[in-house]
Structures are given as C-alpha cells and as structure tokens.
Structure 1
Amino acid sequence: MTPDQSQLALEKRHAAAAALRWVRDGMLLSLGTGSTSAAFINLLGEAVQAGKLRVQGTATSLASENLARQLGIPLVEPCRGLRFDLAVDGADELDGQLRLIKGGGGALLREKLLETASDYLLVIVDSTKLVPQLGRFPLPLEVVPFALPWVMDAVEKLGGAPQVRMAHTGSDQLYRSDQNNLLVDCYFNVISDPEHLMHQLQNIPGIVEQGLFLGLAKAALIANGEEVQVIRPGQAPTPASEFADLP
C-alpha cells in the first residue's frame, strides 16, 4: 500500500533527523532543495538556534536559502576553492546503485554544482523514491530559452517525449529556474542505460544541465515508516542506527 501524504511527511522527517545525527560542529554544508531537504534544514535550524551545532552552508536554491536565513543558519557565498564537507539533499528517484534523478523542484543546476563540490553527498528520501530502474519520474533538463525548439527536437529523437514545464497546473506561464532558464521534463518511462543517456544529453547544445546525478551519492537514508536504512552501492541495506558517523 502506498503511504499517504501524512505518512510520507513523517518518513521525510525521520530521514532528515537521521542525517542530522551525522552533522558535526564546524562543517560547511550544501543545503538541498525540496520537501525532504526542507525538513532537514528546519531540524538543522533548530539545532543551530539551540546552540547545539555551529555550521555554515550554501543553498542549492533561493527557496532553501530563504528558509536557512529565516532559521539563522549562517550562509556562505560561492567563491573559488569552496568545498563542502557534506551535502544533504533529496532525490526524485534513486536505484540500488545510487544513481539519481533530481530536478523535480527545478534546482538541478545549483544542486549539481554544489554536490560536485562536496566531499560527501548524503541522499535523504521517503520509501517511495527507491526504484528498480530509473525513468518513471520524468527527467528534468534546464534549458537556455533560445535553444528550446532544437533541444525539444533532439530529446524527442532520443525517445524522451519532452514537455516544457509550466509555472503552475493550468497556467500559461512557463516555469523559470533561479537562473531564469526553462525546465523541460522528459518522459522516458524506462532509462535502461543512464550513463549513455547522460552523455547523449550533455552533447545537446542549449541544455545547461540534465537531471541524472551519477557517481555523486555516497549513501542514502531511506525511511520506511519509522525505520531508516542506509543504502550504499553494492552493499546490503543497514539500519541507520548502527552508524555513529557517516557510513
């Protein structure tokens, strides 16, 4: 039975709370985007306000940046040489090898920038996000507006059934990223070879970034009810409670 929204909200909070246990004083954090990341930022903010943690962060979206500021989490601007001790972020889909689809919230460019600049990417998700094969969730692309027609043609040839994302359901306004680019959602249904598709998309002019995150995640915390398990590539799931530090 698929969990309802209240159950999913609890799972997201459980995964976020498990991640917070591994945050240490002095860490520089990459703060993710989306509902599960928001749960983590809220818990982190509570710890900062209570004086339990002294950390700094950079956010992967304006929404997460605003939330962090409201909660008193000190923020750091991008600069040369900046690297993060830990990135904590959600995912729209992940498989057992920790290959991810991200970008449902439209922040894939900043997410990939910060998570590539992180020493450790920890993914936090609810029980619905783990899939045997990527592709059920539409793959997002961030696209330069001028290039949109040609990007749509190229993706259609790859079997992606591209659709330009709208600002809201029923709206005639196009969704814009924080960088003022467009988002295109590609319905592949099944992505049998994510690595090959990633390279194909990277070679299409006008695509600023694509939502396949491969080889970046070190571990994932997956909440199923109140139980949180650690998933690592090639290893059996392990209860998160068995780890005092990052796995």
Structure 2
Amino acid sequence: MSASNSPIDLAKLVAARRAVDFVESGMRVGLGTGSTAAHMVRELGRRVREEGLEIVGVPTSTATARLAEELGIPLTTLNEAGSLDVTIDGADEFDDTLTLIKGGGGALLQEKIVAAASERMIVIADAGKHVGTLGAFPLPVEVLEFGMQSTRRHIAALLDEADVSGREAVFRERDGARFVTDEGNHILDLHLGRIGDARRLATALNTVPGVVENGLFIDLCDTVIIGHSDGRVEIGDLASGAFTEEHGTGEEGENLFRDIAG
C-alpha cells in the first residue's frame, strides 16, 4: 500500500474491487466514467490479463475507452452489443432509495443511456457519497449549444417553482473555457442545496427545450457498494432496501490493498 494513497482513494479501490466480483466471463459490461470507475476498469483489466476473464466492455466516455484499450479490455459499441448484463459506475451522490446524482465528470448522457440498457447497474462509491437528501452536489444538466442562454432562463424559471433550497445555474468551465461533452453539448450545474422531489424535478427539466438530459438517475441503480479505507464494504440492495456489511479480508487473507497503480 503506497503511503500516498488517501483514505478516500483506498475506499474507492475497495468498492471497485468488490464490484468486479459480480462480473463473469461472457458478460457485456458497461464501463463507467470518473475516478472511482477508473479503479474498476483497472481491476477488470487485471482479471482479463491474469485470470483470462472473457468480457466485452461498452465505455461511457472517450476517457474510459482509452483506459480500457490500454489495459487490453475488448470493447464494442452499445449499438453492436444491443443490451448489457451489468454496468459498473460511480456516483456523485446517492440516497437510501439508490437515486443518484451523476455527471460530475461530464459523461452523464452516455452513462444514463448505458445504464438504461443494462440488466443491472452497480454503483461504487466512498461513504461520503451517501446522503440523506440529494442536492449538496450540483446537479448537472446537459444542454444544446444552440439557444443555451434561452434554455438557462427556462430552467431558472422552472427552479423558482421547484422544491429546492438553491437556484443558481452556472455553465461549467474547464481550463478557462466552457466545458464541452463528448456529444458537443454544454453542462449547466444547478446549485440546489436540497432536492425535495427528485422524480418531479427530473421530469420537469427534461421538458425544457434545449435540455438533452439531466444527472438524476432514478430507478436505474440496483446495487450500491460503499468502500471504506479499512477494507470494509457495505452493499445496498434496491430490492430488499437493506445495507449489509462485509469485511475486506476474507478467510483466505486476500490483501485488498494491493498497489492502486498495479
């Protein structure tokens, strides 16, 4: 275990390694985007190399595709795969109903399409992503460039009537320029503080002309795996509504803290 690995990095790694236990040879796997998902992709790559795991992956961003290719994971497109057995991805926030906020990495559109095409969605996260009420993390909304200021005004008017605590809508920037998604769109980050009714807000946002998709993932996540830096994991199951705890070191003494870079 590298001394430079932060507790959050270790928690993400623990969750990612537990999640890939659900992947079996022959599966079509959706590959998420973001720092937590990157740990999962690396671990899948290790299993492909060392265990002969036979899978085909569908990446949710160009960044994930590049990483998977470097690690030797065979890739295909969602059009070619048709449907997926499982998608493993991170989340920016999730609540007890496994409703998510996603899109901090700017890939929410592809992530939602891939999740919706999957028999099962597994979310991996550190404990800090588990919240009682969604909204502390800004809600990303992907919008077309055409008429985007008009779209922003419509969203602002919608938020005036919404059950939220904040109403600031800011176009995301990166390196001093407006952020552009893989699809050539832009991201409005909504600083809401608290979302009282996620389903109603998601429906309302997607009726605004110019909105492509929003970062509320509702009725998509089946399982969440929460990692802890001491090797423990909590697994939340949508069907049962329960969270169960597992210890990170099993009877065979498997070391969950192999070098992150490995």
The TM-score, its normalising length taken from structure 2, stands at 0.87
Q: CA deviation at 1:238?
A: 0.5
**Count of aligned positions:** 236
**Aligned counterpart, 2:254:** none
Q: Is the 8 A contact 1:162 1:187 kept in 2?
A: yes
Which residue identity does 2:148 align to in structure 1?
L
Q: Please state if 1:186 is matched with 2:193.
A: no
Which deviates more from structure 2 when the two are superposed, residues 52-61 or residues 100-109?
A: 52-61
**Aligned counterpart, 2:173:** 166
Q: Is the 8 A contact 2:232 2:247 kept in 1?
A: no
Q: Cα gap change, 1:81/1:42 in structure 2, threshold over 3 Å: closer, same or farther?
A: closer
CA–CA distance in structure 2, aligned partners of residues 240 and 115 of structure 1: 26
Q: Please state if 1:235 is matched with 2:223.
A: no
Which residue identity does 2:237 align to in structure 1?
R
Which residue identity does 1:229 align to in structure 2?
E
Deviations 1:11-70 (A, max 9, x none): 000000000111101110000000010000001001101133110011000000000000
Consecutive unaligned residues of structure 2, counting only runs of 5 or more, are: 161-166, 249-262
**Aligned counterpart, 1:245:** none
Q: Is the 8 A contact 2:142 2:212 kept in 1?
A: yes
CA–CA distance in structure 2, aligned partners of residues 51 and 186 of structure 1: 44
Q: CA deviation at 1:232?
A: 2.1
CA–CA distance in structure 2, aligned partners of residues 108 and 70 of structure 1: 23
Q: Cα gap change, 1:6/1:127 in structure 2, threshold over 3 Å: closer, same or farther?
A: same
Q: Cα gap change, 1:64/1:163 in structure 2, threshold over 3 Å: closer, same or farther?
A: same
CA–CA distance in structure 1, aligned partners of residues 246 and 210 of structure 2: 41
Q: Pairwise CA RMSD of aligned residues?
A: 1.7
**Aligned counterpart, 2:163:** none
Q: Is the 8 A contact 1:90 1:125 kept in 2?
A: yes
**Aligned counterpart, 2:223:** 219
Q: CA deviation at 1:180?
A: 1.0
Which residue identity does 2:232 align to in structure 1?
E
**Aligned counterpart, 1:208:** 212
Q: Is the 8 A contact 1:61 1:107 kept in 2?
A: yes
The within-5 A match list for 1:1-247 is 6-79=6-79, 82-157=82-157, 158-159=159-160, 160-168=167-175, 171=176, 173-225=177-229, 226-233=231-238, 235-240=241-246
> Which SS does the other structure have where 1:128 is aligned?
helix
Which residue identity does 1:210 align to in structure 2?
N
Which deviates more from structure 2 when the two are superposed, residues 225-234 or residues 209-218?
A: 225-234
Deviations 1:194-217 (A, max 9, x none): 011011001001011100000000
CA–CA distance in structure 1, aligned partners of residues 116 and 96 of structure 2: 20
Q: Cα gap change, 1:5/1:48 in structure 2, threshold over 3 Å: closer, same or farther?
A: closer
Consecutive unaligned residues of structure 1, counting only runs of 5 or more, are: 243-247
Deviations 1:59-98 (A, max 9, x none): 0000000000000000012326710000000000000000
